[in-house]
């Protein structure tokens, strides 16, 4: 069986790293604001695309509309729980079958499911800061603020501690992620093509021979994978977890 073969690879691995892509998020029922049908609704309602609003330039020039969008659209993500795929990923970590998880998504789904060693390359919406004094604020403070949320200490406009469009990913996060991928003998890509921005950043550091791609859609870049699983990432993770449970 396919699950047995992959389970054996994971059991024999000394360091398995997971790249968590947009597909795993979409399987949980989350909208893909940049690529999905929701992008049209955003542009119709706010007059700008997701990429335009959630950019460093827009934050600097139009904080009122930036935070209206942030509260109404992005913080609503915090109200929706992670799907079963994220909990299955945690289960694999608990059994020693998976290690660090790297993602570019900002919903914090891996962390909220209890996964460990999560590297959020672009940060998450659950971390908001004062760019002046550095004080941190929870999501609820941002949500309850009227208009633009201000720092209670210095009255500076707050901002989500995430990489906005037009900004560079934090070098420390990138370095840590690259080091983990360099150490990996198994690399699992969940819900992303190998030409995605996430894989484009990370695959250059992988020199192993067990690159496992799990994705529903075919792509010309698939040929770079050593093992291809054509299907949903959440089902793949649940199946591997169930196969592992049979042995105990």
Domain boundary among 144, 161, 178: 161
Query: Is 137 in contact with 159 (CB distance < 8 Å)?
Result: no
* 247 and 148, same domain (yes or no): no
Shared domain for 61 and 97, answered yes or no, is: no
Last residue of a domain, one of 141, 161, 181: 161
**CATH number of the domain that residue 87 is part of:** 3.40.50.1220
- Assess whether 201 and 174 both reside in one domain: yes
Q: Are 141 and 133 in contact (CB under 8 A)?
A: no
pTM of the predicted model as reported, rounded to 2 decimal places: 0.94
Q: Same domain, yes or no, for 91 and 14?
A: yes
Q: What is the pLDDT of residue 246?
A: 83
85-to-25, 71, 134, 141, 235 alpha-carbon distances in Å: 9, 26, 34, 30, 7
Residues of the chain with pLDDT under 70: 1, 3-4, 35-36, 248
48 plus 112 within the same structural domain: no
Q: 146, 161, 176 — which closes off a domain?
A: 161
Domain of 75 in residue numbering reads as 31-79+128-161
- Whether 4 and 119 map to the same domain: the answer is yes
Residues 102, 17 contacting (CB under 8 angstroms)? yes
């Amino acid at each position: 069986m396919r699950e047995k073969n992959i389970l054996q690879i994971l059991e024999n691995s000394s360091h398995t790293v997971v790249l968590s892509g947009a597909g795993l998020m979409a399987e949980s029922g989350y909208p893909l604001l940049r690529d999905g049908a929701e992008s049209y609704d955003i542009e119709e309602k706010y007059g700008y695309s997701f990429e335009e609003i959630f950019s460093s330039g827009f934050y600097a020039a139009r904080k009122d509309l930036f935070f209206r969008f942030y509260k109404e659209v992005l913080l609503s993500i915090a109200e929706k729980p992670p799907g079963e795929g994220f909990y299955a990923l945690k289960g694999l970590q608990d059994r020693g079958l998976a290690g660090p998880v790297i993602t570019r998504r900002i919903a914090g789904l891996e962390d909220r499911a209890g996964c460990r060693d999560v590297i959020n390359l672009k940060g998450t919406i659950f971390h908001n800061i004062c760019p002046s004094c550095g004080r941190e604020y929870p999501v609820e403070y941002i949500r309850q603020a009227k208009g633009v949320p201000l720092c209670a200490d210095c009255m500076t406009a707050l901002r989500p501690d995430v990489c906005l469009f037009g900004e560079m990913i934090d070098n420390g996060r990138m370095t840590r992620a690259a080091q983990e991928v360099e150490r990996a003998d198994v690399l699992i890509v969940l819900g992303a093509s190998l030409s995605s921005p996430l894989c484009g950043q990370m695959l250059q550091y992988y020199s192993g021979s067990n690159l496992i791609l799990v994705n529903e859609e075919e792509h010309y870049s698939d040929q770079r994978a050593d093992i291809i699983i054509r299907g949903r990432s959440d089902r793949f993770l649940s199946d591997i977890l169930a196969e592992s449970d049979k042995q105990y």
